[in-house]
Each structure stands twice: as C-alpha cells, then as structure tokens.
Amino acid sequence: MFVSSAFVGCNSADEESLVIYSGRSQYLINPILDSFAESTGIDVQVRYGGSVDLALLIEEEGEKSPADVYISKSPGPVAYLAERDLLSDLPEDVLAISPGSDAGNWVAVSGRQRVLVYNRENVTESELPESVFELTEAKWKGRLAIAPRNGSFQDFFTLFRLKHGDDVALDWLKQMVANEVKVYANNNSIVQATARGEVDGGLVNHYYNARLKVENPDTPSANHRFVDGDSGSVTIATVAGIIPGGNEKNAEKLIRFLLDTAAQQYFTDRTYEYPVLAGIESKHDLSKPPTIDFGDFNILGSGLERTLELIREAGFDI
Amino acid sequence: MLGSIYFMQEQGFFSGNGNISSIKIEDAYFNFGAVSVLRGVSLNVEAGQSIALLGPSGCGKTTLLRSIAGLEKLDTGVIAIDGNVVTSPDCFVPAEKRRVGMVFQDGALFPHLTVAENVRFGLSNSFDRDNRVKDVLEMVGLTAMANRAPDNLSGGERQRVALARALAPEPSVLLLDEPFASLDASMRVQLRTEVRQLLQDLNITSLFVTHDQGEAFVLGDEIAVMNEGRILQIDEPSTIYEQPIDPWVAQFVGEANMVSGSTDNQSVITSLGSVPLSDQLDCAAGSSVDVLLRPECLEIQSGGNWLVSSVEFYGHDSMYQLKGEEDKTLQVRSFTNPIYQTGDYVSVRYVGPPTMAYQSVNS
Amino acid sequence: MRQDSIFSRSDSEEKNSFSGLEVKEKTPGLLLLVSIVVALLFAVPFLYLAVRNIVNINDLTNIFFSKLTFYPLIKTLYLAFTVSIAASFIGVLLAWITIRTDVHWGSLWRILCPLPLVFPSFVVGTTLISAYSPGGFFEFVFLPVGIEQFPRLDGYIGSFLVLTFITFPYVYLPVAARFSTLPSSTEEAARLLGYNSFATFKRVTLPQIFPTIRAGTLLIFLYVVSDFGVVQLMGYSTLTTRIFNTRLADTELSLALGLVLGLVALLIVLGERFSSKELNLVNDNPSIRPTKLKLGRWQPMALFTIVITLGAGLFSPIIILFWWAYRGFINQTAGFATTSDLMTLALPTVNTVVMSVSAALTTVLLVLPIAFLVTRFRSILITPINAIIVSGFALPGLVVALSIVFLSINVTGFYFLYQTLPILLLAYIIHFGAQAYRTAQVGVLNLDNRLSEVARTLGTGRLLLLVKIELPQMLPALAAGGGLVMLSTMKELPATLLASPIGFKTLATHIWALNEAGFLADAGVASLLLVILSAVLTWLVVIRNAIHLR
C-alpha cells in the first residue's frame, strides 16, 4: 500500500501541486502555465495530448484520475466529460467572467475565430463573401476546401445547425458538395493547400494562417472574416474544467489565473487568440475586435452525434 | 556393383551425343581487389579424363573451378570447353549455357524441393524426366529417398543427391568443389571410392578440387598441384608422389624427409649412404643438394646413431620419429608391427626407387 | 532387373536432427507458463475491447453488419492488400540490390533503406503533400518534363503511394538480413543447371526467402490497417479513421469498430498461419560470403531504383523539413528560438534513445520464449498465442494506450505502475511485439542444435547455453526484428502521450506538439534530428548485427 502511495502521490490533495491535462498545444500554453507556477509556488505538472484523447483518458481513469484541470482546445470534449459527470462545478464568480456551460462546470479561456482563408493571388478582395451562405454560389465551384472530419469544423457546423435548423444546415452542406468543395484533414492542411494555390480558399480557424505568416511572411494566404453575426464567423473557444477528487483549490486558482489580465494579454499577443475578458487590446492585426459568440455550448457536446449524422448524410465518409 | 552401370548403359544412360568434352585453360589471370588469385594458369583436361586440383586453401583452385563454370569472370586468359571458347577477353558464355555440372562443398541442395525435385530441376523437356530422375537416383542409391526433403538427409546423402542432380542433365564436364569436405572421415573414404568408380564408369570429363592428398590420389587420373595462384606440376599421381617438382610439392603431397648431401649427378651421397636419382641434376658434381626420402623408403636396423624419439602405431603400418646429430629428424614408416621402442638407437638406410634431389636453398 | 548400385545404402550416418523440427517434444512447463503470461499481456487490448463492448452487446450486431462497418472495412482491406504487394516488391528488390549486387555506395544505402519507417505518419503525410501537391515544392523539378501542375495527392492513390514508400522497410530489413546469410551456392547450382538469373531468382531464391517476405508483408498489411496519420491526411476512410473520427461523438460505434478491427486482424493472422507451411527453410551459413552480382551496365538502373524509392520515402520529407527549418532560420520566427535552446531537444532525444533501445531489447526477450515454444514444441495453445501477438499490431495505437490505462487502473496489482516507464514500455511491447516475433522465429529455426548439444555435454546450464551459444547465433534475426521495434518506438505517439509518466517527452511527441501549433521550422529541426538519430541507431543496433557483409 505504501508503495503505491509513493508512486501516485501526485493525484492526492497535495497542497502545493497541480496536475493539468492539456489538449491545448504545449507551445501555446506552457509559458502561461510556467508563470502560474512561478507566481503561486505551486508545482505544476502537465500532460499534453490531443483534446479528445485526453478526455477519453480521463474517462478511462475515472475516480483515480491524477488530473486536476482539463484544458481542451474546443468545447466538444469538455461537454463529453460533463455529460458523464466527470467535471466539478465552478464557482459563480468564475462563471461570471467568461462564457461557459449552463451547468456551470466549464468556462471559455480564449477564442479562435472561424474565417475563410484565401489565396490573394487567386481571389480578389471584391470577390470575398459576406456570409458563409454565399460559398454555395457557382463562382466558388471547385475552389474551396473544408475539413469535415476535424473537430473545429464539426463545432462550427453544430452551432450552424443549432442556429438555422438541421434542414437548412444539411441543405447548405449538400450544396457545398454540389459545388465541388474539396475535403481536407484539418485546418493546417487547408491553410497550406491555400498557400500553395491548390485551392483558392477554405473554412478554418484563424490561428493557422496567422502562424504561417510568422513562418513564411511571403505567404499569399490571408484570413477573411465573415460579417458579424454570420454563422461563418463563430468563435471556437479553448475551454477549461476541474476534475473532481483532486486538488480543486489549486485548480480553481489556475482557472482564475487563465482568466486574468496577464494571461489574456498573453493569449492575444503571443498565440493570436481572442480574449474572453473585456478590455484586452491585441498588438496583432486580428481584423477587428470579435463579437464573442460562443453559441450554445451546452448542446455542443451531446449534439455532436447528430452533427456527424448530417455530415454523413451530405455525402462525407466519416 | 557394376551391374547397375551395365543397366544404365542398356537404358541409354549415355546418350553418346558428344557430352564428353575436353577443357582447355590458357594463361588465366584473376584478381580479387588487390589480391592476385590466379597468376597465369594453363591446364588441359582431355575428354574423359579426371583431374584433381590439389592445393592448400587460398591457392586459387576454387576460383579456377568457378571460372570454368562461368561463376567468375577471368581478368585475362581463355577457357574453352570441347574446343569452344567460353571465356576470353572478348566473350563470356553465361554459366547456364555452358552445360557444366557442378557439385558444391555444401551440396547446395534446394531446401524447398524434395530429393526427386532437386534432381529433376535441371532436366529440360528433351529428357524423359520421370525415368531420368528414377535412373539417376538409382545410380546413387537413393531411390527410397526420392520424396524426402533435403533437411532430412545425412551429409553423405546430401552429397549424393548433389551429384545426381549435377549428372542428370548429362553435362559435358563435371566439376566438384571439395564435395567431401563437410563429411566425417569414414563417410568421406567410402563416398570417394564410390564416386571414383562412377566417374570411371561414366567416362565423364571431371575436374575435382581438394586440399586432401588422399582424395587427389584416389580420384585423379592426373593431379595438378596449385599454390599461390599457379599450377606447379601436373602429372599422374605416382609421378607427383615420387618425383615432385620441388620441395614444396614434395612436402605438400605426403610426408617427406629432406636430407642434405652432395651429388655426383647420378646419386646423392648422404649420411644414410648413397641415394639413386631418377633425373640427372643440372649442377656441378659435388654441389650440395637436398634429397627427398619418403618415410616408407627407409629401413631401420638396430644399433646406430639415430635415437627413436616416438613410435606411432596405425595398424597397417607404424611411424618412427628419429633424432640424429645436430638435431636432424627423420620419419620412417614400417609396415611391420613396431619392433623398436622409444629410446632405442637405430641405423637407417635408403631402400626406395630412384628419387628427387633439389638444389639446397642455403647453398 | 538389378536394383543395386555402386552406392551402398548402408550409410554409417544416421540423420542428425539439426533443425529441431523433427523433435517436437513435450513442452517444458516453465516455457509454457512464461509463454502464457506473455501472451496474456498481449491479449490486454483485445480483452479491453471486449469488456468495453459488453455494455452495448445489443447494438453490437447492428453495428457489425451496418454499412458504417462494411464500407470502411472493404476499403481498409483493399488498401492494406495493395500496399502490402507493392511495398513487399520494393522491399525485396532493394534488399537484393543492396546485399546481392555490387551497387555503388552499398553500405550507405543499407543504413538509409530502413529509415523511412522512422517518420511519424503525419510528418511523412504532411511533408509529401507539401512536396507533391498542386503548387508543391517539387513542381519546378518536373516542369522540364512537361508536368505543369501535380495532381492532388489524396484519396486511395495518395494513401497507396505514401504508405508503400514508408512501409517497405518491414520487408527490406528482414529480407536483407536473410540475403546476407543465405549462401549463394544454391543460386549458382541453378545457373549451372541451365537457369538464367531471372529464372534462378524465381525458382530458387524466392522460395527460400519467401517465408521471410511473407512475415514482413503481414506486418505491412497490419501497419496499413492500423495507420491513422496518412489515411486521414489523404481523406481515405478506413476502419481506423472511422474509429478516430467517431470516438467522441459516437463512442459506442468507435469501440465496436475497434472490436471489428481486432477480430478481422485475428482472422487474417490465423488465415495466414493456416495457409502457409511451417517456416522450415533454413539453409543459412553466415560463414559463407554471398557472392555479389556484378551489375555492369545495370548499375545506373539499380541506383535509380534506390534513389527513387528513398527519394519518395526519405529524401523528399527531409528536403521539406530542411526547407521549413531554413525558412524559419531566415525569418527568425519566434518558434525557432525555442529550438535554438538546445536543452529543449536534449531531454526528448535522450528519452527517445533510451525508450526505443529498451523497447527493442525487452520486446525481443519477451517474444523469444514464444518463438522457442512455437518452433520447437507442439501445443494447442500455439495457434491462439501466435494470433494474439501478431494481430495486436493492427490495432490503432490509441486502443493499445487506453487498454494499458484500463489495465493499470482496474487490475489489482498494476496501479502502482500507472504512468511509469515500465508501463509505457509494456505498451510499446504489446503494440510492436509482432515485429520482433516473426524474426525471432527465424532466429530459433537457424539454431544449430549440434552446437547446443556439444555445449550441453560440456555441462553448460540452460540459461548459459542461451546466452553463450544460442543468442549469438540468433543475433542477425533478432537484430532485424529488434530494429523494427526500435524504429517504431521512436515515432510512437498515442501511448507515449497517454501512458508515459507525466511530463515525459520524446522527439516524436515534441514534433507532434510543434506541428499542432504550426511551428513548422521547429518541427523541421526536431524531425531532422529524429532522422539522424535513427540512422545512427540503425547502424549501431541493426546493420552491424543483422547484415553480415564484409
């Protein structure tokens, strides 16, 4: 018995420790976790992995999970855990800072914007659409890309169908197929295909082109934001929740820290994300300050299965 | 024993369509990287003749054999089989078109085929394959093993299959590369006798590589002794043994006492007395020479200044090691049971035929 | 008719049972026990899938026979089958050229040929798409030959090409090891019996190396079945992509498909075993140097074949990675600064070396008893044990990782190992055991029992016998299999991410994290380091031991 406690001490309620499972990439979030550890003196340990895989891991671990905090790069996996009662309730004041779930067990930490990435050599500015609905027009035939197997597209499409209804959503997606939309694996491959000129544009999160511009300032790809309120310009949030049974006090501290000014400024300056806290100015040209529209998170998680059905019905093999 | 050969001849074992051929090698050179493996080898094997290539390992004998087979390409030199040039600086007939049979040291049986399938492998459809396989297996006494896998054969059986496989397509010449090297001693003796019988009966041209003198004497109509990429002597086995061309050959083909003396061109005067020479020596009378005395050509008598330092009894003969003045040693073979014992003093005299003498190295 | 012959039948020799195949004795209890324990470990992912599916037992039959299962299953089998054929062909061809001919720079090619295996799937996929898609990096090279724009690299063709060029080492490595010990005398004998080079290869060489090829081909087949990275990037739906793409939104379906995949893999491995004769073709003699064919005017053709194959599977990714790194260097990207701090790479590098080498060693040691059991003895347990070990390779890495978590969380006595290096090692062993297992069998078959018997008469104990006499004899085969495990471990992701001690990083997870964040320059540098590291380890661990050439 004492052998086991020596090995698994990390998940006990050690005052000075915190275990984080992060689906958000190490190179985007680690500096802010380091500064949390430094300012609080808490020993922070992080397991990085795919958001979905970590959610499945937490489910598999159940009560024995060493994780205190779970950070996901999209709401879907957090909702999956919430549905299975694997998240603790958050305090009211935390929930008041940032949009979160109705049930009150997870909050948004930062946001990424859905945009149309396009190739400036093949698409003129006057051509750019105001709404995602315009992409079914004949002039876009064979020129655009989507990533229907990717979580961020599925999140976007879930919000889309919740806003307009399944019929409209399915009809839109079917028209996209009829318009010979090209299928890619993920945001990154769409941005790169656009930069190569393989496609003229595609629906992605804004981050990847911002990053590509750092790697290659000459890239002909650029982000275009649909008008405010359009379903094409929803925000996909990075979200966090607390796993019960661990060091909930420190977990809460971390979530507050992530929602505080310093962290929010870091996200906007260093990882090109949109802040969830009002009054943070970005040093980057992230077009204009976003209208935070996180949509209806609560249905996002459990609504994914229906989303998958519709995507299949539109003709995608997923 | 010979019955089966008559049987084979009745069955047309030799189709008689000119598959007994000569081999002619002229001035063959072969280098492997910086190493000269063959340095000007010439050799004639007449049709129906069996020649043993005898030499220590690394002397180039296997390379010569493989060059005849077409498995190696000479740097310069010409090889002709039955008068047709197969290797020359301008032409190279690939191995598969040479009609050369070869038995490898490890047998090289195809492990995925049965014994019968191995033998059948080289038979073109001009043969009545089933019967040919049957005949050849019968020839090597392995009819009962036809359906065995090579993995389940003894070493001797494997080499018989290898021989049967090589002979089945009626090759124009047969090459054997140390075929008995992997066998134990008694099997080796038995198989070599049988192979000799077979080669004689088939009257096939064969070239046989070995480092074992006994094998060479038994199997070769003639023996070609090789060392360091050259053929030193080609002669009948008895000539090789009795009249080796130089001391190295003399010592390589059998036990040899080299005793110094002075010559009068007909004989050599040694401490053992006068020894007759088979050839006149081309040197001044009174020159100092080394004369070859085979151990069995010496006779021991009791009393003398040679000390018996050891006696080995082999059954059919005995070998005495003698020590003389100035640490000289002699080997003497006696075909009687040992009469003398270690510590006895004896005298020795030469009783053999005229022998060879060589100019002393140090004179 | 006289039946006698000049050859007497009275051989004094009796057949020595060298091969061990003749003497299938009663299985020693200890060996059987060890084998069962090892096999049980390998069964963990299957047991996990079974347990997790029991909850939905009612839906299971519906899912099994739905088109959600059927279409991806057909597509999976089609891709796996075609890639297996093509990659095996390439693997054998390259093994033959690099071992059996005097091709220029042979020793360089022998180190490079196994390396395409080391890239994480997503790295090869992404880099090859960057290289050979419309607007791709290499378009300018093909302009002079009249190709203005590449077709899009995707779908079946894309998956087929990429997987073929990265999986051929599964055949290359064991076949090259076999070629290097297979005496060339049987081939020469065939030549002298009238067969030309091609016919000789077909009738004599191929049958002798065929069991080795088949074992490698099975690995390729199972690898393709389990691959996620490439097929997902290419947009080709297989069982594995469906398992991944539905694992959150429709967990029941995902788990059921996992079970289907496991069962299909078991069936394929069982079928392969029943359709084949035993591996009894042992004719190796490491003391005889195989003669090398002089290529002469075929030399350029042979070089061309190697360069094209490695060009696709190794050089192209490397060039793209260089390009990324170079671009990052020129633009002084923020991310590039993290790599310039060498400590960021040092620890993952050390971890990668330690884990991949220990995974190779422990896997070989654990599958060895089973190899002995299967080749030397008869037992009804052999067939199921064989099937479980080999088919585990077909399961997606995520399933293996989760099953290991399941084991340590739920089985008494394992929890203290949770998220420790031993349990991570166990995950590697379970996932990659198949790669070492078949070659271990070849190693056991190669043992010369006469040597062991001699040693025993000298009073050598069983363990000492194994270490002193038998392991050195089996080394070439074991090194080839261990090498495959090593290269696979170097790129492994799901188990390392989920089952490692917290904070543990390897080069593969480092590259993955950088790629996720779009830090292409840093990902390029780290991937290049992974390639260099794998080349060094391949030489040290594999080439020196597995391929005997002078």
**CATH code for the domain of A256:** 3.40.190.10
Q: Say yes or no: B274 and B232 in one domain.
A: no
* Average pLDDT value for chain A: 86
In angstroms, what is the C-alpha Rg of chain C?
24
pLDDT of the residue at B328: 86
Looking at the structure, do residues A220 and A240 belong to the same domain, yes or no?
no
Residue in B4, B112, B162 nearest the CB of C281? B112
CB contact (8 A) between residue B153 and residue C291: no
Question: pLDDT by residue (tens digit) across A261-309?
Answer: 999 999 888 888 888 887 787 776 654 555 555 555 555 556 788 899 9
DSSP, residue by residue, C377-388: B--TTHHHHHHH
B261 plus B230 within the same structural domain: no
- The answer to whether C415 contacts A46, with C-beta atoms less than 8 Å apart, is no
Q: Do B154 and C186 touch (CB under 8 A)?
A: no
Domain assignment present for C6: no
Q: Which amino acid is at A4?
A: S
Is C465 a residue whose pLDDT tops 80? no
Tokens at B280, concatenated: 């006149």
Query: Quick one: pLDDT band at residue C539, thresholds 50, 70, 90?
Result: confident
Residues of B in contact with C196 (CB under 8 A): 94, 96
Give me the residue from B110, B157, B169 closest to C186, CB to CB.
Answer: B110
B136 touches chain C (CB under 8 A): no
Q: Which two tokens stand for residue C11?
A: 């051989």
Compute φ and ψ for C55, nearest 5 degrees.
-55, -35
Q: What is the pLDDT of residues C256-301, one digit of tens each?
A: 999 999 999 999 999 887 766 554 545 545 445 567 778 888 999 9
- pLDDT band for position C454 (50/70/90)? low
Judge: C335–A215 Cβ closer than 8 Å, yes or no.
Answer: yes
- Residue B265's pLDDT is 75
Q: How far apart are CA C306 and CA C304, in angstroms?
A: 5
Q: Would you call C74 an interface residue with chain B, using a CB distance cutoff of 8 Å?
A: no
Claim to verify: residue A154 and residue A219 sit in the same structural domain: yes
Residue A45 has pLDDT above 90, yes or no: yes
Q: Which strands sit side by side in the sheet containing B357-359, from one edge to the other? A: B273-276, B267-270, B257-263, B288-293, B357-359
> Any alpha helices (H) in C377-502, and if so which ranges?
382-391, 397-410, 421-445, 449-457, 462-465, 471-491, 494-499
Q: Cβ of C129 and A52 within 8 Å?
A: no
| Domain final position from B242, B273, B292 | B242
Check whether residue A287 and residue A276 sit in a common domain: yes
pLDDT computed for residue C234 by the predictor: 94
A11 and A153 belong to one structural domain: no
Of the pLDDT bands very low, low, confident and very high (cuts 50, 70, 90), residue C211 is confident
CA distance C308 to C329: 29
Q: Do B111 and C282 touch (CB under 8 A)?
A: yes
Distance of alpha carbon C277 from its chain centroid, rounded?
22
Phi, psi (rounded to 5 degrees) for B175: -110, 135
Residue C29, H or E segment? helix C29-42
CA distance C76 to C378: 34
Average pLDDT over residues C234-238: 93
> Is A37 inside any structural domain?
yes
- Determine the distance in angstroms separating the CA of B186 from the nearest CA of chain C, rounded to an integer: 8
* CB pair distance less than 8 Å for B141 and C5: yes
CA B156 to CA B146: how far, in whole Å?
Answer: 15
- The answer to whether residue A318 is domain-embedded is no
- Decide if C24 is inside a domain: no
Whether the pTM exceeds 0.80: the reply is: yes
Residues B20 and B158 in one domain: yes
CA–CA distances in Å: residue C492 to residues B31, C315, C419, C499? 49, 21, 16, 12
**Higher per-residue confidence, C481 vs B336:** C481
For the segment C113-153, what is each residue's pLDDT rounded down to a tens digit? 999 988 888 899 999 999 998 888 888 888 788 777 888 88
Check B201 against C14: CB less than 8 A apart.
no
Contact between A243 and A124 under an 8 Å Cβ cutoff? The reply is no
Residue A93 shares a structural domain with residue A160? no
As a whole number, mean pLDDT of residues A45-56 equals 95
> What is the predicted pLDDT for the residue at B34?
84
Sheet of B173-177, strands arranged across: B100-103, B173-177, B205-210, B50-54, B222-227, B230-235
Scan for tokens 């806003």, then name that residue: A163
Provide the domain count of chain C. 1
Per-residue burial over A112-121, b = 16 or more CB atoms within 10 Å of its CB, e = otherwise: bbbbbbbbee
Q: Do C196 and B96 touch (CB under 8 A)?
A: yes
Q: Which of C11, C22, C193 sits opposite B122 (nearest CB)?
A: C193
Q: Which residue of A has its CA nearest to C228?
A: A185
Chain A CB contacts of C515 below 8 Å: 188
- CATH classification at residue B312: 2.40.50.140
Q: Where are the alpha helices (DSSP H) in C313-420?
A: 316-331, 334-340, 343-376, 382-391, 397-410
**Structural domain contains residue B21:** yes
Residue C157 has pLDDT above 90, yes or no: yes
pLDDT value, residue A7: 39
- Give me the pLDDT at residue C549, please: 61
- ipTM confidence: 0.90
Task: State the pLDDT at residue A5.
Answer: 35
Is C235 within 8 Å of C154 (Cβ atoms)?
yes
The CATH number of the domain holding residue B51 is 3.40.50.300
Closest C-alpha among B251, A192, B19, A36 to residue C135: A192
Q: In B46-162, where do the E strands start and end?
A: 50-54, 76-81, 84-88, 91-92, 100-103
Task: For residue range B293-319, list pLDDT tens digits in order.
Answer: 999 999 988 888 899 999 988 888 899
Domain match, B281 and B136 both: no
> Do A262 and A130 have their domain in common?
no
Q: Is the pLDDT of residue B116 over 90?
A: yes
Domain finish residue from B178, B212, B242: B242
Q: Of C1, C5, C213, which to mutate for an interface test with B (greatest number of B Cβ within 10 Å)?
A: C5
Rounded distance between C-alpha atoms, residue C262 and residue C256, angstroms = 10
| Predicted confidence band of residue C29 (pLDDT cuts 50, 70, 90) | confident
Closest by Cβ to B141, choosing from C8, C207, C291: C8
State both tokens at B192: 């070599």
Query: Which residue among C11, C194, C288 sits closest to B154, beta carbon to beta carbon?
Result: C11
- Please state the domain count of chain B: 2
Q: Which residues pair with A221 in a beta bridge?
A: A119
| Averaged pLDDT for residues A245-256 | 92
| A180 in the same domain as A307 | yes
Q: CB–CB of C262/C394 below 8 Å?
A: yes
Q: Does the residue A53 lie in any domain?
A: yes
Q: Closest residue of C to A213, CA-based?
A: C333
Q: Is the pLDDT reported for residue B180 higher than 50?
A: yes
For C99-117, the pLDDT digits (tens) are 989 999 999 999 999 999 8
> What DSSP designation does C539 have?
I
C21 falls within a domain: no
Q: Evaluate if residue C353 carries a pLDDT over 60.
A: yes
The first and second tokens of residue B13, run together, are 């074992």
Same domain flag for A6 and A102: yes
Average pLDDT, chain C: 85
Question: Which residue is closest to B153 within chain C, CA to CA?
Answer: C15
Nearest-CA distance from C501 to chain A in Å? 9
Question: What is the percent of chain B where pLDDT is above 90?
Answer: 43
A102 and A181 in a single domain? The answer is: no
CA distances from B54 to B80, B102, C256, C503 (A): 21, 17, 73, 71
Q: Please give the residue range of the domain that contains residue C240.
A: 29-546
CA distance C468 to C465: 5
Q: What is the pLDDT of residue C58?
A: 74
> Of the candidates B104, B124, B166, which has its C-beta nearest C185's C-beta?
B104
Q: Is C434 part of a structural domain of the chain?
A: yes
Find, in chain A, the residue whose alpha carbon is nearest to that of C150: A198
Q: Give residue-wise pLDDT tens across range A218-227.
A: 899 999 989 8
Q: Report the gap between the CA of B45 and the closest CA in chain C (Å).
A: 19
Q: Mark whether A78 and A131 lie in a shared domain.
A: no
Chains in contact with A, where contact requires at least 3 CB pairs less than 8 Å apart: C
Round to whole Å and give the CA distance between C295 and C293: 6
Contacts of C249 (CB under 8 A, 6+ apart): A76, A154, A304, A305, A307, A308
Token digits of residue C220: 């390729």
Q: Is there a domain that residue B72 lies in?
A: yes
Residue C290 near residue C182, CB atoms below 8 Å:
yes
C277 touches chain B (CB under 8 A): no
**pLDDT single digits (tens) A87-119:** 999 998 888 888 777 778 899 998 888 999 999
Average pLDDT over residues B239-253: 92
Per-residue model confidence (pLDDT) at position A70: 97
For residue A198, the distance in angstroms to the closest alpha carbon of chain C comes to 5
Winning range, highest mean pLDDT, from C359-368, C372-381, C414-423, C455-464: C359-368
Confidence at residue C12, expressed as pLDDT on a 0 to 100 scale: 38
Is C539 a domain residue?
yes
pLDDT at residue C166 above 90? Answer: yes
CB–CB of C249 and A10 under 8 A? Answer: no
For the segment C188-214, the average pLDDT, to the nearest whole number, is 89
C177 Cβ contact list (under 8 Å, min separation 6): C439, C476, C477, C479, C480, C546, C547
Distance from CA of A93 to the nearest CA of C (A): 30
Q: What is the mean pLDDT of residues C393-398?
A: 93
Cα C47 to Cα C388: distance, rounded to the nearest angstrom: 11
Give the orientation angle of helix C520-537 with respect to helix C507-516, to 10 degrees. Answer: 160
Q: What pLDDT digit, counting tens, does each position of A172-202 carry?
A: 999 999 999 999 999 999 999 999 999 999 9
Nearest C-alpha of chain B: how many angstroms from C39? 31
The answer to the question of residue C445 being in a domain is yes
Q: Which domain holds residue A134?
A: 112-234+302-313
C-alpha–C-alpha distance, residues C99 and B323, integer Å: 56
C-alpha to C-alpha distance for A205 and A272, rounded to whole angstroms: 11
What CATH number did the domain enclosing C511 receive?
1.10.3720.10
| Closest CA–CA distance from residue C330 to any residue of chain B (Å) | 49
| Measured distance CA(C293)–CA(B95) in Å, rounded | 13
Q: What is the pLDDT of residues C337-350, one digit of tens each?
A: 555 566 778 899 99
Cβ atoms A209, A153 nearer than 8 A: no
pLDDT at A273: 85
Residue C258 domain flag: yes
B159 and B298, same domain (yes or no): no
CA B350 – CA C247 distance, rounded (Å): 100
Whether the pLDDT of residue C377 is over 70: the answer is yes
- Phi first, then psi, for residue A62 (nearest 5°) are 55, -135
Task: Mark whether B218 and B306 lie in a shared domain.
Answer: no
Question: Is residue B40 located within the same domain as residue B176?
Answer: yes
Please count the structural domains in chain A. Answer: 2
Reading the block at residue C335, the tokens are 């991310």
Q: Between chains, do A61 and C409 touch, taking CB under 8 Å as contact?
A: yes
Say which residues have a Cβ less than 8 Å from residue C391's Cβ, sequence separation at least 6.
C222, C262, C265, C266, C268, C269, C434
Question: How large a percentage of chain A has pLDDT more than 90?
Answer: 55
**Does C3 fall in a domain?**
no
Q: Say if B251 falls within a structural domain.
A: no
Alpha carbon distance C208, C214 (integer Å): 11
Residue B308's domain spans which residues?
256-359
Q: Which of B111, B169, B187 sits opposite C194 (nearest CB)?
A: B169
Q: Which amino acid is at A14?
A: D
Q: Do A183 and C235 touch (CB under 8 A)?
A: yes
Closest CA to C416 of C341, C490, C501, C357: C501
pLDDT tier at C37 (50, 70, 90 boundaries)? very high
Tokens 């593969």 correspond to what residue? C508
Does one domain contain both A62 and A142? no
Taking CA–CA distances from C6, the nearest residue in chain B reads: B1
SS3 content of chain A, % helix, strand, coil (to 5): 45, 15, 35
Binary contact (C331, A317; C-beta < 8 A)? no
When pLDDT is cut at 50, 70 and 90, the band that residue C446 belongs to is confident
CA dihedral B53, B58, B59, B63 (to 10 degrees): 60
